[in-house]
Chains A and B, each alone.
Chain A
Amino acid sequence: MTQALAKNERYQAQFKGIVDGSSPEWLDGLRRQGMKDFSSLGFPTARRGNENWKYTNINAIANAEFDIAPASDVTLEGLKQSAPWDDDWTTLVFVNGRYSADLSNPSTDASVTVGSISELTRSNGNILESHLTSIAPTANDGFAALNTAFVQDGAFVHVAEGVDLETPLHLLFVSTANETPFITHPRVLVVAGKESNATIIESYVGVGEGKYFSNVVSEIILEAGAQVDHYRLLDESDEAYHVGVARVSQGDDSSFSSAAFYNNVRLGRHDLLVTIGDGCETKLAGLYITTGRQHVDNFINLDHTKPNSTSRLFYKGILADRSRAVFGGTVYVRDGAIKTDSLQSDKNLLLSPDAEIDSKPALFIWADDVKCGHGATAGNIDRDTLFYMRSRGIELEEASRLLIYGFAAEIVETVKLKSLSDHLERIFLDSLPRYSFEF
C-alpha cells in the first residue's frame, strides 16, 4: 500500500507541470479530474476477487519508477524500417508522446480533421470537448484516469458526415527506449460522422532497448451508419509495458471492423469494450504471437444494447517458450437486444510445454430470440497433420513452420491494406517462433 501511494505521489509531482494555463479550462478540468480519480483508484494490483485482472499481474508497472518521457528523435528512414508505412497514407507520428510535424504526413482533405489534440483545442474545441472522455470515463479505471490527467498531444480524427475517406489514416506512436524507464500517455479520439467511411491504423512501435510504459486510451465513436475499418498493431520493445484502454461506441446501423496484432511487448493488455447499437455489424479479428516471457492479455467485451446486430470475434494466438496469454472475451446481450447474432472464438497454438493460455470466452444473455456461440481451443500441432506432411518428404521443421505460418496467415490475410500486410508479413510471418515439443 505504501509503495502504491509513493507511486501516486510520483505521478502527482509529474502532474504539476501539466496544468500550466495554456489549455482551455474544460481540458484542464478533465486533467484535474483524471488525476483525482487516479489518486483514489491507483493501479489494479489487487487481483483477489478481481475477475478482470485474475491472470495478469501488473505489479511491474505499479512498482516501476517511470519518468516523464524525454523528447526524442527518430529518422524517417528508421521509422519506415520499424513501422508500417505508406507515403500515400495520412500519417500522424508521435515520438515519446509528442506530435512530430516533421515526420507526419497530415491530410489535405478538408472533409477530415486530423491532428494533435493539443493543437486542435483551438480550432475544434467544441467537438473535442463534447467527445473526449465521453466513452472512456476516468471514474472507474485507474489507467484511463492517469492517461487523461496527462493528455497533451494525441491524435484527433473527425470525419465529417457522409464523407467517404479513401486515404487510410495512420496514427503512429513511437517510443525510443533507453536506460531510463519512462511513461507515455498516447491518446486517440476518432469521431466518424453519420454515414461516413474511414480506415484507421493505430500503431505502437518501440525502437531501442529499455523499459517504458505506453498507457494508451483510444475512443472511437461511430455515429449512425458510419463504417470504420480499424487496425491496431503492437510492436513495442521487448521490455515495454503497454496497457490500452479502447472504447468503441457504435451508433445504429454502423459497421466496425477491426484487426489487432500483437508482436512485441513484455506485458501487454488490451481492454476493449464495444458498445453496439441497432442493426450494427462488428467484426473483431486478432493475432497474438508471444515468445520468451511475454505476457499478452486481451480483455474484450462486446455489449449488444439494441436489437438486430451481428458480431464476430475471431482471435488466434501462437505461444512459444515460457510466454503466456490471457483471453477474456465476453459478449453481453441486453434485455431487448433481440435478433442478436454473435459468434466468438479464440484458437491457440502452443509451441512449447512451458507456454500457457488462459482463455475464457463468456456469454451473458438477457434477451430472447438470439443466436450466440463461443468457443476456445488450445492445442499443439496434431500428429496426423504432421505425418501427412512428412509422408510427402517434408522435414519436421519445415512441416511445423508451414503449419504455424498457415495458422497466423489466416488472420494476416484479413488485412486489406497492402503496405500494412506487407509489414505484418515481415514482422510476423518471416520470423515465426519454432515448435519446441519433442516430436
Chain B
Amino acid sequence: MLEIKDLHVSIDETEILKGINLSVKAGEVHAIMGPNGSGKSTLANIIVGRPGYTVTRGEVIFEGQNIMQMFPEDRAKEGIFLAMQYPVELAGVRTWQFLKASVDALRKHRGEDQFSVRQFDRLLDEKRQIMQIGEDLIRRSVNEGYSGGEKKRNEILQLLLLNPKLALLDETDSGLDIDALRIVAEGVNTFKNSDNAVLLVTHYQRILNYITPDYVHVLLDGRIARSGGKELAEELEDKGYEWIIKDVAAAAS
C-alpha cells in the first residue's frame, strides 16, 4: 500500500529526514516511536502533503502511484488520512459543517451523491456514539475551546467518517485519560480491517496494548534506527532509547 524509499526531507535547508525506507501493506499496523524531534511528525506530514517541507531525495509511493506532487485534498481523496498531533482550530466553522463538507468531498470524488442532512446525521450519530462525542460539541466551531482529549476524539471521529485506506495517527494517545484512551483505541479498532493500514506515532507502549502493532520502528535523528515486533515497544518502555542510540553510534564507528 505504502512504499517509502530513501526519503530525505528538509525544512529551511535543515535536513530532518535522512533517508527513510518503509513498506506498509494492507492489513498491517505499524508503530513509529522515537525521541522528541526525531522527525516522526515530519514523516506523517510529508505523506499527507503538508506544505512547508522540501523533499530533496527519494519518493513516497501510495498504491503504486508516486504521490509527492499531489495536493493534500487529492491525497485525502485517494484514501490517506492523518489524525494530527495538534488539530487546528477553525474559528466560526461548525464541526458539523466541516465533517459534512469532508464526507461530501470524498463522496463526490467517488462519483456518489452528496448526503442529505438526514443521511449524514444518521452516519454521524453512529460514529459519534463510538467516539462518545456529544451533539453539543459538533455544533461548536471546529476544535475551538475543545479540551485536548476532545480534539483527539474528534480526529478519530473523522477517521471513522472518512474511512481511508491508510490512517496515520500522530500521537493521538498523548494527553488522554484512561477512558479516553480506551475510546480512541476502540475507534481505531472499529476502523481497522484487512484492507486498510495504520501507521501510529506514539511515545507510549500503553496504546499498543489495545492496538497491536505488527511492526515497531524507532526513528532516531531522521532515520529508522531499528525495526522489530511489538516486543520492541516493551523493551523501549523498560530501557528507553539510550541503548539504541549507543548501538547506532557503535555501528557507525
Contacts and interface: CB of A to CB of B under 8 A. Distances in A.
Interface string A397-410: 01000110111111
B249 interface: no
Contacts of A385: 88, 90
Contacts of A388: 84, 87-88, 90
B241 interface: no
A393 interface: yes
Nearest to B94: A406
Interface string A207-250: 00000000000000000000000000000000000000000000
Contacts of A406: 90-94, 141
A391 interface: yes
Contact of A402 (B52, B81, B98, B109): B98
Given A383-B51, A389-B90, A391-B48, A396 B101 contact: no
B218 to A, nearest CB: 26
Interface in A348-407: 383-385, 387-396, 398, 402-403, 405-407
Interface string A188-205: 000000000000000000
B105 A403 contact: no
A398 B105 contact: yes
Given A387-B51, A402-B98, A392 B90 contact: no
A430 to B, nearest CB: 15
Nearest to A407: B92
A388 B45 CA distance: 11
Contacts of A402: 90, 93, 97-98, 101
Contacts of B158: 392
Nearest to A404: B92
Contact of B102 (A384, A393, A407, A410): A393
Interface string B69-113: 001110111000110100110111110011001100110010000
A-B interface, 10 closest residue pairs, ranked by CB to CB distance from nearest? A406-B92, A393-B76, A392-B102, A388-B88, A393-B105, A406-B93, A390-B72, A390-B73, A393-B106, A391-B72
6 contacts: A389-B102, A391-B48, A391-B81, A392-B102, A395-B73, A406-B90
Interface of B: 48-52, 71-73, 75-77, 81-82, 84, 87-88, 90-94, 97-98, 101-102, 105-106, 109, 141, 158, 162
